[in-house]
């Protein structure tokens, strides 16, 4: 299977259910992982558990991708994904395997201004929050309730899979979230959910793909005290990591993918052989690499939708939020979708998120300009006016968040059907099972589990010989960590 999607897969309910793989059946094999984001780090981790040697190849100057970190004033902050659900069993097992990396509680605390009143949804007080859902038609509550019960009963339902997406498409007659629910529930809850998870408007989310969104509201969130960069650094020690190295093409020989064409940090173009290649990039980058080898598959990957997100981090002299209200969600008329405290104990650091339809025209992430837009919106609800800003940092993510394929079931089916054409190649990423950090791990786990050790046997000996020749050419300048795994 190209992406290792299995119908029967059931997500482990707790961390205790995750048994480390004991089968070291890829011992000594060299795998290239294209992309040093969390999907790539996850793929490397699962491969190492099967004994493989992992080479992570990343075109940026740092690992992390859309969960990357940067300096804000005196501290390092994570600009992209950082909130870790209590249900993120795979990601938590990964961090636990890397030593002592404590979490701090973050929760979901999100307020909306509606009819002149601030309504706060706090995951610590769910029943109080649900009491605020007045005026919502019973039909809408029942629909949402049914979906929530499905995810509660079976946590793996929050992962996109072909059968579930198809069933939901049939049940909702191909409707979008916009069409399936009335305006009150959309305004109170659903729009902020689709914008938060996928930077998509409700009319851009088919009901067939709704379950990862429902899963998000049922979870409660923590974040790593040391930030994402600490985990990435710890994980990098177990792989050979090459930064500023761009994969330009796939080597295909004797009917299988057997290596990569790379442009190194020094600008050299080299070819390097591997026993297997995992593409752990976003769908469009994978499409570009597959254009020549598998044009139909590339065209399908191009159809996956990503919507941009711009994040602004601002450090103020005094707290902007308080313990009761830690984030404000803005409506469809604003380019600012959310303003929230960076952490429970970081009430003076605000993470502003610009996403959704109106924010798509913000092409240049000019921190000063974004700050003036954001502060003018937040000033009525939080202590931002007259509060001196000490440091600003902005990044536009494009691709930002994944809103999947408009027909995810057929897309997943087509990926499976294409797999036999490309032995030696595995795809993983946020476009398969869902776009949260945990679903990236779920997709990578399945992708690695689907690798058949016997399939590669013939390629091993020559690949290793030739690879060691190539290492001498292309590796030294980019190598940032020793070989492990």
Ligand X SMILES: Cc1cc2nc3c(=O)[nH]c(=O)nc-3n(C[C@H](O)[C@H](O)[C@H](O)COP(=O)(O)OP(=O)(O)OC[C@H]3O[C@@H](n4cnc5c(N)ncnc54)[C@H](O)[C@@H]3O)c2cc1C
Stretch that binds ligand X, among 129-137, 318-326, 429-437, 445-453 (CB under 6 A): 429-437
Q: Which of 1, 33, 37, 447 binds ligand X (CB under 6 A)?
A: 37
| Residue 226 · residue 78 · CB < 8 Å | no
Q: Which of 11, 32, 33, 38 binds ligand X (CB under 6 A)?
A: 38
Q: Which of residues 72-91 bind ligand X (CB under 6 A)?
A: 80-83
Q: Which of residues 227-266 bind ligand X (CB under 6 A)?
A: 246-247
Our finding on whether 123 is near ligand X (CB under 6 A) is no
In sequence order, what E strands does 318-437 have? 327-329, 336-343, 346-354, 389-402, 425-427
Our finding on whether 70 is near ligand X (CB under 6 A) is no
| Residue 474 · residue 271 · CB < 8 Å | no
Rounded to a whole number of angstroms, the minimum distance from the CB of residue 139 to ligand X is 31
Question: Toward ligand X, which CB reaches closer, 12 or 453?
Answer: 12
Rounded Cα–Cα distance for residues 430 and 152 (Å): 22
Stretch that binds ligand X, among 140-148, 378-386, 394-402, 447-455 (CB under 6 A): 394-402
Question: Toward ligand X, which CB reaches closer, 309 or 448?
Answer: 309
Our finding on whether 480 is near ligand X (CB under 6 A) is no
Rounded Cα–Cα distance for residues 351 and 214 (Å): 23
> Nearest to residue 69, comparing CAs of 247, 313, 234?
313
Stretch that binds ligand X, among 2-10, 51-59, 124-132, 445-453 (CB under 6 A): 51-59
Our finding on whether 464 is near ligand X (CB under 6 A) is no
DSSP 142-164: HHHHHHHHHHHH-GGGGS--HHH
Rounded to a whole number of angstroms, the minimum distance from the CB of residue 344 to ligand X is 14
Rounded Cα–Cα distance for residues 183 and 218 (Å): 22
| 159 torsion bin: left (phi>0), alpha (psi -120 to 50), beta (else) | beta
Our finding on whether 188 is near ligand X (CB under 6 A) is no
| Residue 472 · residue 225 · CB < 8 Å | no
Our finding on whether 34 is near ligand X (CB under 6 A) is yes
Rounded Cα–Cα distance for residues 88 and 99 (Å): 17
Our finding on whether 429 is near ligand X (CB under 6 A) is yes
Count of chain residues binding ligand X (CB under 6 A): 35
Residue where the block lists tokens 């405290």: 341
Cβ contacts of 17 within 8 Å, gap of 6 or more: 89
Rounded to a whole number of angstroms, the minimum distance from the CB of residue 67 to ligand X is 4
Question: Toward ligand X, which CB reaches closer, 147 or 437?
Answer: 437
Q: Which of residues 306-365 bind ligand X (CB under 6 A)?
A: 309, 311
Our finding on whether 65 is near ligand X (CB under 6 A) is yes
Q: For the stretch 168-187, what's the b/e string if a residue is b when 16 or more beta carbons lie within 10 angstroms of its beta carbon?
A: bbeebeebbbbebbeebbbb
Distances (CA, A) of 145 to 11, 85, 134, 178, 214: 21, 20, 15, 17, 10
Question: Toward ligand X, which CB reaches closer, 29 or 90?
Answer: 90
Rounded to a whole number of angstroms, the minimum distance from the CB of residue 235 to ligand X is 12
Q: Which of 4, 49, 58, 190 binds ligand X (CB under 6 A)?
A: 58
Our finding on whether 60 is near ligand X (CB under 6 A) is yes
| Residue 428 · residue 447 · CB < 8 Å | yes
Our finding on whether 305 is near ligand X (CB under 6 A) is no
The H or E element containing residue 18 is none
Question: Phi/psi at 307 (nearest 5 deg)?
Answer: -120, 140
Binding-site string for ligand X from residue 264 to residue 303, where x marks contact by CB under 6 A and - marks none: ----------------xxx--x------------------
> Hey, what are 450's tokens?
């689907």
Rounded Cα–Cα distance for residues 395 and 397 (Å): 6
> Hey, what are 420's tokens?
């036999």
Q: Which of 3, 66, 92, 158 binds ligand X (CB under 6 A)?
A: 66
Q: Which of 4, 36, 474, 485 binds ligand X (CB under 6 A)?
A: 36
Rounded Cα–Cα distance for residues 476 and 242 (Å): 9
Our finding on whether 436 is near ligand X (CB under 6 A) is yes
Rounded to a whole number of angstroms, the minimum distance from the CB of residue 7 to ligand X is 22
What is the binding site for ligand X (CB under 6 A)?
Answer: 34-40, 57-60, 65-67, 80-83, 246-247, 280-282, 285, 309, 311, 397, 400-401, 429-430, 435-437, 440
């Amino acid at each position: 299977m190209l992406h290792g999607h299995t119908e029967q897969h059931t997500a482990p309910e707790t961390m205790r259910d995750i048994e480390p793989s004991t089968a070291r059946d890829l011992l000594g094999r060299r795998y290239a992982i294209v992309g040093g984001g969390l999907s790539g780090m996850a793929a490397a981790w699962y491969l190492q558990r099967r004994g493989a040697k992992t080479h992570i190849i990343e075109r940026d100057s740092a690992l992390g991708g859309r969960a990357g970190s940067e300096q804000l004033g005196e501290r390092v902050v994570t600009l992209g994904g950082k909130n870790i659900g209590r249900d993120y069993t795979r990601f938590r097992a990964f961090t636990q395997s890397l030593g002592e990396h404590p979490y701090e509680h973050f929760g979901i605390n999100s307020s909306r201004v509606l009819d002149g009143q601030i309504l706060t949804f706090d995951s610590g007080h769910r029943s109080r929050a649900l009491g605020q859902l007045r005026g919502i038609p019973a039909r809408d509550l029942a629909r949402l309730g049914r979906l929530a019960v499905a995810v509660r009963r079976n946590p793996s339902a929050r992962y996109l899979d072909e059968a579930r997406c198809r069933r939901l498409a049939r049940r909702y007659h191909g409707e979008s979230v916009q069409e399936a629910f009335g305006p009150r529930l959309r305004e109170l809850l659903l729009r902020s959910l689709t914008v938060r998870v996928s930077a998509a408007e409700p009319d851009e989310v088919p009901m067939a793909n709704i379950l990862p969104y429902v899963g998000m509201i049922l979870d409660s969130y923590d974040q790593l005290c040391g930030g994402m960069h600490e985990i990435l650094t710890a994980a990098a020690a177990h792989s050979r990591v090459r930064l500023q190295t761009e994969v330009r093409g796939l080597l295909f020989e004797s009917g299988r993918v057997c290596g990569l064409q790379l442009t190194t940090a020094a600008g050299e173009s080299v070819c390097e052989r591997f026993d297997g290649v995992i593409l752990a990039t976003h769908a469009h980058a994978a499409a570009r690499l597959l254009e020549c080898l598998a044009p139909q598959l590339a065209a399908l990957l191009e159809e996956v939708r990503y919507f941009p997100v711009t994040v602004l981090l601002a450090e103020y002299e005094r707290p902007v939020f308080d313990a009761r209200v830690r984030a404000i969600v803005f409506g469809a008329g604003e380019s600012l979708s959310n303003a929230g405290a960076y952490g429970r104990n970081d009430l003076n650091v605000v993470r502003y998120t610009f996403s959704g339809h109106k924010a798509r025209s913000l092409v240049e992430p000019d921190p000063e300009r974004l700050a003036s837009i954001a502060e003018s919106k937040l000033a009525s609800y939080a202590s931002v006016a007259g509060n001196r800003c000490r440091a600003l940092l902005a990044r536009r993510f494009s691709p930002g968040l994944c809103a999947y394929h408009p027909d995810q079931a057929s897309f997943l089916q087509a990926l499976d059907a294409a797999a036999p054409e490309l032995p030696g190649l595995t795809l993983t990423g946020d476009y398969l099972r869902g776009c949260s950090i945990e679903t990236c791990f779920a997709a990578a786990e399945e992708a690695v589990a689907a690798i058949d050790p016997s399939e590669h046997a013939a390629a091993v000996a020559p690949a290793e010989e030739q690879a060691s020749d190539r290492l001498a050419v292309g590796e030294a300048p980019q190598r940032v960590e020793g070989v492990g795994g």
